[in-house]
Amino acid sequence: TIILISIKVYIPVLIIVIQNSMDGNINFNGNKYYSSKRNGVLGRGISHINKIVDKYDGVVYRKYSNCLFETKIVMGNVDKVVN
């Protein structure tokens, strides 16, 4: 597995992009992604990201292709996130 993380700050916006390599199979039902590594359980990393983004009033965008899963997190108040 390859994971790339990029962080950019455009005050007052924080953008974090996380790219994961994957086998090409997506387990998606409703509005939730399920782990292919943990027998269909809700993805642990995705759950943690969602909680943090909700806590700090951010937005999450997700997309995927044949071998790459990308999560983009946009937070509008950098001071609230950093402190």
For residue 48, what pLDDT is reported? Answer: 86
Could you tell me if 67 and 73 are in contact, meaning their C-beta atoms sit under 8 angstroms apart?
A: no
Q: What pTM value is reported for the model?
A: 0.76
For residue 7, what pLDDT is reported? Answer: 96
For residue 66, what pLDDT is reported? Answer: 80
Average confidence score pLDDT of the chain: 81
For residue 12, what pLDDT is reported? Answer: 86
- In the predicted model, residues of the chain with pLDDT beneath 50 are none
| 46 conformational bin, left if phi > 0, alpha if psi -120 to 50, beta if neither | alpha
